[in-house]
Amino acid sequence: MRKPVQSQTQVEEAVATPAQAPPATGEISYSREQLEPLFEHAASALVVIDEQFQVLDSNVTGCEKLGWTHPSIVGQHCSKVLGCMNLNRMMLCGTSSCPLTRVLQKNVPIPNEELICGTLPDHTDEYAVSVTPIKAEGRRIVVFSAREVSSLKVANRVRSNFVSMVSHELRTPLNSVHGFIDLLMQGHMGELTQEQKTYLGYTQEGVQQLVSIVEDILLMTRSDSGQFEIKPEKVNFLNLANQVLRNLQPQAFKASVILNKDIFSPSPLLYVDPQRMKQVLNNLVVNAIKFTPPGGSVTLRARPYNQDFVMISVLDTGYGIPPEDRNHVFERFYQSNHALQSRMGGYGLGLPIARLIVEQHGGVIDFDSTINQGTTFYFTAPSITK
């Protein structure tokens, strides 16, 4: 292994077991030097970065994958080396969604996230990334680990095509069933008893839920294949918020949850796809209602953010998100093992879809949560200056 820079020595001292420490009975003893090949020849690209976002070191794989030599990569700003983008090719450097910024601000590692990394021609690819903060002699550094996932693209494409085909085939009969139930409920096939209407209502709710699941899966597969598009236009946010809250009022009433809105005046004008933005608000408010106990409240809020964006938040007084789930809330189909989640149900696509739509609009989405006090999901949306 090449002679490491000083900060790399700090990395080794921070993560390795001191050589002079006596091994406990039955334990295997090893020295720091014996672990050096693990860094140097790891299959994953490893890049060590300091708080100023300067590259301190990289292993052989990292240099090869990113197209740099070791002498030239050291000292570079990480945006010139990594240039992280999400899978929709939205640049993350300099934004609050930057994985390094998130780790340094919260001092919590990112265990797994799919990103597009690399800035040099023929050296840009998709990676499964983990980012780990390390404290070494009073200073903080992060180890950026990236494993190439290009070999999975073909399999993922086949899977997406299959899911898309099945979803299309399901949508037609489901819409047919939904339509016939509507005809029955309206009495076109004869007068119904109250009990019959009640049970048909339950059936209609179940079919509508299946239709929503199919539509969500289709949206995600279109996104994976690059076919997801937004059609932005001038939208009055107050009108949009009123539509969402009015439609969800029966669900809130059933859960004994109060819906509020807190929108600055004059109402902000957004430049968004109204149907997609309504989908984001609906997903966030439904989620908030679901995890708020009876007697609690959910508030839809909008505040100026900067010249080009408005900050929109959904605040609840609910149970909060358990710490072990917070790194996974935007993962597709993620299901918590928490007992509360199992009672509430869901299939784990609402928040990933919200993030997809927000990022397609050039915004960012995140959340804050305190157990038994509530959760706030917030995101930015492009605005129109009057």
Work out the percent of the chain whose per-residue pLDDT is above 70.
Answer: 81
pLDDT given for residue 73 in this prediction: 93
pLDDT given for residue 211 in this prediction: 76
pLDDT given for residue 89 in this prediction: 87
Q: What is the mean pLDDT of residues 309-333?
A: 89
Q: What is the mean pLDDT of residues 229-253?
A: 91
228 has a pLDDT exceeding 60: yes
14 has a pLDDT exceeding 80: no
CATH code linked to domain 6-148: 3.30.450.20
378 has a pLDDT exceeding 90: yes
9 has a pLDDT exceeding 50: no
Which band of pLDDT confidence, cut at 50, 70 and 90, is reported for residue 27? low
341 has a pLDDT exceeding 70: no
pLDDT given for residue 19 in this prediction: 42
- Residue-averaged pLDDT of the chain: 82
| Residue extents of the structural domains in the chain | 6-148, 155-224, 233-382
pLDDT given for residue 343 in this prediction: 56
48 has a pLDDT exceeding 70: yes
CATH of 233-382, one of 3.40.50.300, 3.50.50.60, 3.30.565.10, 3.40.50.620: 3.30.565.10
For the ranges 301-305, 333-337, 369-373, the lowest mean pLDDT is seen at 333-337
Radius of gyration of the chain from its Cα atoms, rounded to whole angstroms? 25
Q: For residues 346 and 329, what is the distance between their CA atoms, to the nearest angstrom?
A: 12
157 has a pLDDT exceeding 50: yes
SS (H, E, C) the chain: CCCCCHHHHHHHHHHCCCCCCCCCCCCCCCCCHHHHHHHHCCCCEEEEEECCCEEEEECHHHHHHHCCCHHHHCCCEHHHHCCCECCCCCECCCCCCCHHHHHHHHCCCEEEEEEEECCCCCCCEEEEEEEEEEEECCEEEEEEEEEECHHHHHHHHHHHHHHHHHHHHHHHHHHHHHHHHHHHHCCCCCCCCHHHHHHHHHHHHHHHHHHHHHHHHHHHHHHHCCCCCCCCEEEEHHHHHHHHHHHHHHHHHHCCCEEEEEECCCCCEEEECHHHHHHHHHHHHHHHHHCCCCCCEEEEEEEECCCCEEEEEEEECCCCCCHHHCCCCCCCCCCCCCHHHHHHCCCCCHHHHHHHHHHHCCCCEEEEEECCCEEEEEEEEEECCC
Sign of CA dihedral 13, 72, 144, 123: negative
366 has a pLDDT exceeding 80: yes
Most confident of 6-15, 22-31, 131-140: 131-140
What global pTM score does this model have? 0.55
pLDDT given for residue 11 in this prediction: 39
Q: For residues 376 and 314, what is the distance between their CA atoms, to the nearest angstrom?
A: 6
pLDDT given for residue 367 in this prediction: 93
What are the φ/ψ torsions at residue 261 (nearest 5 degrees)?
-135, 145
Distance set, CA 265 to CA 72, 157, 282, 304 (Å): 53, 46, 22, 10
What are the φ/ψ torsions at residue 11 (nearest 5 degrees)?
-60, -45
Which band of pLDDT confidence, cut at 50, 70 and 90, is reported for residue 252? very high
pLDDT given for residue 1 in this prediction: 43
Q: What is the mean pLDDT of residues 27-48?
A: 74
Which band of pLDDT confidence, cut at 50, 70 and 90, is reported for residue 385? low
5 has a pLDDT exceeding 60: no
Q: What is the mean pLDDT of residues 344-362?
A: 82
Better-predicted residue by pLDDT, 5 or 326: 326
CA dihedral 154, 157, 162, 166 (to 10 degrees): 170
Q: Count of alpha carbons within 13 Å of 220, Cβ hemisphere only?
A: 23
pLDDT given for residue 205 in this prediction: 76
144 has a pLDDT exceeding 70: yes
Q: Let me know: does 258 contact 299? Beta carbons within 8 Å.
A: no
Q: What is the mean pLDDT of residues 255-275?
A: 91
What are the φ/ψ torsions at residue 79 (nearest 5 degrees)?
-65, -25
Q: What is the mean pLDDT of residues 73-101?
A: 91
262 has a pLDDT exceeding 80: yes
226 has a pLDDT exceeding 80: no
373 has a pLDDT exceeding 60: yes
| Nearest CA-CA partner of 57 in 15, 91, 95 | 15
Better-predicted residue by pLDDT, 279 or 40: 279
